[in-house]
Amino acid sequence: MYKRIVKKNDETDYIDDLLKLISLKNVPMNQVFESSESCFFIRHDVDHSLNMAIEIAQVEAEYGYTSTFFLLPPGSYNEEKNYYGWIDNGEIKHDPELIEKCKILLSHGHHLGFHSDLIASALKWRQDPKEMLQKEIDYFDRNNIRLIGTAAHGSPLARELEFNNREIFEGCIRKGREVGRIIEYNGWKVKTHSLKLEDFGFEFEAYSLPRDSRISESGGKWGGRIVGEQIDREGLFTNFKIQEFRKIISRLQPDAKVSSMQVMTHPCHWKVVEK
Ligand SMILES: [Zn+2]
């Protein structure tokens, strides 16, 4: 074990200051429903760096943890290409190294999922979300890779038009939002709740998994809810104290009445430090 994974802006050690302090059973995301004891699962939204995801995957495996990495097709950020590929005439072209890198993640005992910006992409590129998703599933199928679930990406267009990308799937309903409504953008329309998770081999949408405790570092800031207590996101960010952070995480004990917890990271907020 020669490497440490450390958060860039506050030096939190991913293993020692976070995972090791969670005294719950670590389970893969598709087994959360079956777990009879308090458990936690790890979700990585790979927005930018698949190489960093590989580093994390390796270290997790060394310590016996399992997690799921959600892959984001290109086009969600203002960049021509990402680790997944690029857009050519409205078609996704896949990075020649994508499959090889996916297989490295799988070789460490982890799972892969789809980081979905589907509603936003369909609107922007004037395409049918079902066809778009099916093409991606077929591509991974051809390469013998299974995506076990999906996790919605929070894109600017979603905020602007007040939808959440998970709403493309049947059953992914948000309070106060109409089921089967039409989202319109530049004259193109997408109907929410029009696809079925199981038609694409997905076992879950990440937001629908039970998680009565959760932590994430969206935007580089720790946030979430641990054993009924909200993390003071801004306070912890402006005045980060590692002891305070460790104390919060250490509350995750088997007797804390947590049923399941989500640890969510974005690999781009982390770096590798040689021991
Ligand atoms: Zn994302």
Q: Where are the alpha helices (DSSP H) in 49-204?
A: 50-62, 98-107, 118-125, 129-142, 156-160
Q: How far is the CA of 112 from the centre of ligand 1 (A)?
A: 14
CA–centroid distance, 115 to ligand 1, in Å, is 7
The Å distance, Cα 161 to ligand 1 centre, comes to: 17
Distance 180 CA to ligand 1 centre (A): 24
Ligand 1 mean position, distance from CA 254 (Å): 30
Å from CA of 76 to ligand 1 middle: 9
Q: Give strand pairing partners of 152.
A: 116
Q: Which residues of the chain have pLDDT under 70?
A: 1
Residue 274 within any structural domain of the chain:
no
Residue 186: inside a domain: yes
The Cα–Cα gap between 252 and 261 comes to 9
Asked if residue 275 is part of any domain, the answer here is no
Domain count of the chain? 1
Residue 200 belongs to domain with CATH number: 3.20.20
Which residue matches tokens 């390469």?
143
The pLDDT of residue 89 is 86
pLDDT at position 102 is 98
pLDDT for the residue numbered 1: 66
pLDDT of residue 79: 81
With a CB cutoff of 8 Å and minimum separation 6, the contacts of 149 are: 29, 30, 68, 111, 113, 114, 197, 202, 203, 204, 205, 206
Q: Cα(75) to centroid of ligand 1, in Å?
A: 12
* CA 118 – ligand 1 centroid, Å: 12
Residue 144 belongs to some domain of the structure: yes
Question: Phi and psi (nearest 5°) for 137?
Answer: -60, -45
- 3-state SS, residue 14: helix
- Tell whether 180 is covered by a domain: yes
74 is in which domain, residue-wise?
3-269
Which pLDDT score is estimated for 48? 95
Cα(63) to centroid(ligand 1), Å: 26
Distance CA 43, CA 131 (A): 26
Provide the percentage of residues in the chain whose pLDDT is more than 70. Answer: 100
**What pLDDT score was predicted for residue 105?**
98
Query: What pLDDT sits at residue 261?
Result: 97
- Ligand 1 centroid to Cα of residue 152, in Å, is 7
Distance 114 CA to ligand 1 centre (A): 10
Residue 89 lies in a domain: yes
Q: Is 179 part of any domain?
A: yes
Does 159 fall in a domain?
A: yes
Q: How far is the CA of 255 from the centre of ligand 1 (A)?
A: 33
Tens of pLDDT along 127-165?
999 999 999 999 999 999 999 999 999 999 999 999 999
pLDDT at 80: 81
Distance of CA 153 from the midpoint of ligand 1 (Å):
4
Whole-angstrom distance, CA of residue 208 vs CA of residue 210: 6
